[in-house]
Structure 1
Amino acid sequence: MMGIGFSSFDADRNGSQMIVPSKPALGDLPESCVALILEYMDPPQICKLSKLNRTFRSASWADFVWESKLPPNYDALVRRIFEGFPGNLGKRGIYARLCRPNTFDEGNKKVWLDRSTGKLCLSISSKGLSITGIDDRRYWNYIPTEESRFNTIAYLQQIWWFEVDGEVEFPFPAGTYSLFFRLHLGKASKRFGRRVCNTEHVHGWDIKPARFQLWTSDGQYVASQCFLKEPGNWVFYHAGDFVVQNGNESTKIKFSMTQIDCTHTKGGLSLDSVLIYPSEFRKVKPFLRS
Structure 2
Amino acid sequence: MAKDFNNLSEGCIAIILSFISPRDVCRLSLVSSTFRSAAESDAVWDRFLPSDLHTLLSQSSSSSFPSKKHLYLHLCHNPLLIDHGKMSFQLDKVYGKKCYMLSARTLFIVWGDTPRFWRWISHPDVRFSEVAELVSVCWLEIRGWINTGKLSPETLYGAYLVFKPNPAGIYGFDYQSVEVSIGIAGGEASKRTVFLDAERGRRLRYQIVPRQAGIFNHARFLGSVETLSAQHNNNNTTSIDLKYPKERGDGWLEVELGDFFNDGEDDKEVEMGVYEIKSGDWKGGLFLQGIEIRPKTVSH
Give yes or no for contact 1:46–1:60 (8 Å, CA) kept in 2.
no
Deviation at 1:39, TM superposition (A): 4.2
1:180 to 156, 160, 170: 160
Deviation at 1:38, TM superposition (A): 3.8
Structure 2 letter corresponding to 1:127 = R
1:227 to 175, 190, 195: 195
Give yes or no for contact 1:213–1:221 (8 Å, CA) kept in 2.
yes
1:152-163 to 2 correspondences below 5 Å: 152-163=130-141
Distance across 1 between alignment mates of 2:182 and 2:26: 38
Structure 2 residue 132 is the aligned partner of structure 1 residue 150: no
> CA 1:28/1:176 → structure 2, altered by over 3 Å: closer, same or farther?
closer
Deviation at 1:125, TM superposition (A): 0.9
2:180 to 212, 232, 238: 212
Deviation at 1:121, TM superposition (A): 0.9
Equivalent residue, structure 2, for 1:261: 278
Deviation at 1:180, TM superposition (A): 0.8
Equivalent residue, structure 2, for 1:43: 22
Larger proportion of helix: 2
Deviations 1:84-137 (A, max 9, x none): 99xxx9975874675452322221111111122212111011111121222222
> CA 1:58/1:262 → structure 2, altered by over 3 Å: closer, same or farther?
closer
Give yes or no for contact 1:32–1:59 (8 Å, CA) kept in 2.
no
Structure 1 letter corresponding to 2:115 = R
1:244 to 262, 281, 285: 262
Structure 1 letter corresponding to 2:133 = Y
Which range moves more in the overlay, 272-281 or 219-228?
219-228
Structure 1 letter corresponding to 2:193 = Q
Distance across 2 between alignment mates of 1:31 and 1:121: 32
Equivalent residue, structure 2, for 1:61: 41
Deviation at 1:67, TM superposition (A): 5.9
Deviations 1:133-180 (A, max 9, x none): 222222212232223222532111211111111112243222111111
Give yes or no for contact 1:163–1:257 (8 Å, CA) kept in 2.
yes
Structure 1 letter corresponding to 2:128 = F
Deviation at 1:82, TM superposition (A): 4.2
SS in 2 for 1:81: helix
Larger proportion of strand: 1
TM-score (structure 2 length as normaliser) = 0.65
SS in 1 for 2:259: strand
Give yes or no for contact 2:26–2:39 (8 Å, CA) kept in 1.
no
Equivalent residue, structure 1, for 2:297: 280
Give yes or no for contact 1:214–1:223 (8 Å, CA) kept in 2.
yes
Query: Where does the alignment leave 5 or more consecutive residues of structure 1 unmatched?
Result: 1-23, 188-196, 286-290
- Identical-pair percentage: 24
SS in 2 for 1:57: helix
> CA 1:219/1:138 → structure 2, altered by over 3 Å: closer, same or farther?
closer
Q: Which has the larger radius of gyration?
A: 1
> CA 1:238/1:29 → structure 2, altered by over 3 Å: closer, same or farther?
same
1:129 to 101, 107, 110: 107
Give yes or no for contact 2:11–2:38 (8 Å, CA) kept in 1.
no
CA RMSD of aligned residues (A): 3.7
Structure 2 residue 158 is the aligned partner of structure 1 residue 140: no
Does 1 or 2 have the higher relative contact order (CA < 8 Å, sep 6+)?
2
Equivalent residue, structure 2, for 1:5: none
SS in 2 for 1:122: strand
TM-score (structure 1 length as normaliser) = 0.67
> CA 1:168/1:61 → structure 2, altered by over 3 Å: closer, same or farther?
same
SS in 2 for 1:198: coil
Deviation at 1:239, TM superposition (A): 0.8
SS in 1 for 2:198: coil
Equivalent residue, structure 2, for 1:288: none
1:196-207 to 2 correspondences below 5 Å: 197-199=167-169, 202-207=170-175
Structure 2 letter corresponding to 1:103 = L
SS in 1 for 2:275: strand
